[in-house]
Amino acid sequence: MNDEIRKIEPSVVWNNFVNLNAIPRPSGQVEKVRAFLLDFGRSLNLETIEDSTGNVIIKKPATQGYEDRETVVLQGHMDMVAQKNSDVEHNFSTQGIQMFIDGDWVKARGTTLGADNGLGVSAILAILESDTLSHPPLEALITYDEETGMTGAMELDNDVLRGSILLNLDTEEDDEIDMGCAGGIDVTAFKTYTPENPLPDSAGFQLVLSGLNGGHSGMDIHKGLGNANKLINRILYVAYNKCKIQIGTVEGGGLRNAIPRESLVHFTAQKNVASQLETILQREIDYIKEEYKSVEPNLKMVIKEVETPDQVLGHRDTAALLNTIYAAHNGVYRMSPDIPDLVETSNNVASVVVQNGQIQIKCLTRSAIETGKRDLVNVLTATFRQGGFQVTTAANYPGWKPNPDSKVLEVVVDTYQQQNGTQPKVVACHAGLECGILLSHYPKMDAVSFGPTIKGAHSPDECASISSTQKFWKLLLGVLENIPKEKGVLK
């Protein structure tokens, strides 16, 4: 079926996308795709560089008549989010993505599609290999491990680029032109515990929550979607206070930038409260299903009796865990008072793992302003420390401050209007784009971000619009043709 996708127009983009998706490229395992990109540039006899940290830069001279235009940096990232449905067998480390066409959408078979940011990168590759398209001098910058902390952008060498214009091709609504984004920071809470034997006459239970939509922890955080870690904790909190259950193991969520879709918990309760426990659990499950029926219609929770775990958390540690997760803020923390409908600050309780004497809770906190980010980190730190957790932060990256006077923004908006007859939405987004980081390395650059429509990014429901990709490709080519001639006009 992937061969059918090669035939979609613009075939130059989709053909590169199929080639890219044949290469395993989850974050943290980008060696193969990096080698592919280096071979791609060198096969075209273009100047191809791997900087000291592993980013790939491919430079292409201007086409005839465009030699005096400003140099443009076309930018995307080589890695993808690796998420799959629990009933799908797929190894992201060794297998490419299996795709199919569904009407106007390209989808994957039970996994993330990799359109984020594979379609943007594929468009860059299509321009690099073309001998017919008109464009100014180009520098293609493909960064690594964007999805796990924007590592490539953070560690980019400061002397590999000469361009004065940055076109980031990593947004997901084709009628939006981004001029700003949120920054982010990982917040991790850690605690050890001494495993105990279950109380005498205890029975073992398993609670599985699945079927949530998941999604992008920035772009989808305002939609009121279910967070598997928070919902299952809500149920267990009530069960503990009524029946004094003891937690055995927890496996909830996964990637920090994906709203968690599934969670699995093993726990114990004494046999004399088993019937009462099941009634309590079912009542809480019914409450949650009723509350979320419009946004999470596929929400599924299954309780079953299983073999009693050999080791569990003691009552004090169980209470501390459940109280802490219940209190930890999740979702929108503050809306922007200056930009309508923009989430300013948020948190995603992304992962909860309890096993072998260790508890780890991972969060991704985002904010459009540094003070807001710091405030929410302090809230989370105080919450976790109340539960006896140690707290660390990492992968702190800045936001991208909006510049409404950007000259390249004016070029993109004018080109969009000429092509479509309508004005695009000029926005700042709550996702983490690499622009703010790249501008910290190259502060004289003028930046803008746009891309094709992609739905469900960071989840197995991810899909890319075919007609939107055609629209995006046309806009990208038009912008490159309209880059002004006068040197320094955008500086």
DSSP tally for the chain: helices H, then strands E: 12, 21
Distance CA(397)–CA(182), nearest Å, equals 9
Is there a catalytic annotation at residue 51? no
Paired residues of 355 in beta bridges: 358
SS percent in the chain: helix, strand, coil, step 5? 30, 30, 40
Measured at the alpha carbon of residue 92, what is the angle toward residues 105 and 264, in degrees to the nearest 5?
A: 95
The active-site residue, picked from 51, 79, 173, 296, is 79
Is there a catalytic annotation at residue 79? yes
Measured at the alpha carbon of residue 233, what is the angle toward residues 270 and 110, in degrees to the nearest 5?
A: 115
Distance CA(275)–CA(440), nearest Å, equals 60
- Dig out the tokens for 393 from the structure: 């932060």
List of residues 6+ apart from 137 with CB closer than 8 A: 59, 60, 61, 62, 66, 67, 69, 71, 72, 163
Label residue 394 exposed, middle or buried (CB < 10 Å: 0-12, 13-18, 19+). exposed
For residues 412 and 479, the answer to whether their CB atoms sit within 8 Å is: yes
The active-site residue, picked from 70, 146, 178, 446, is 146
Which residues are annotated as catalytic?
79, 146
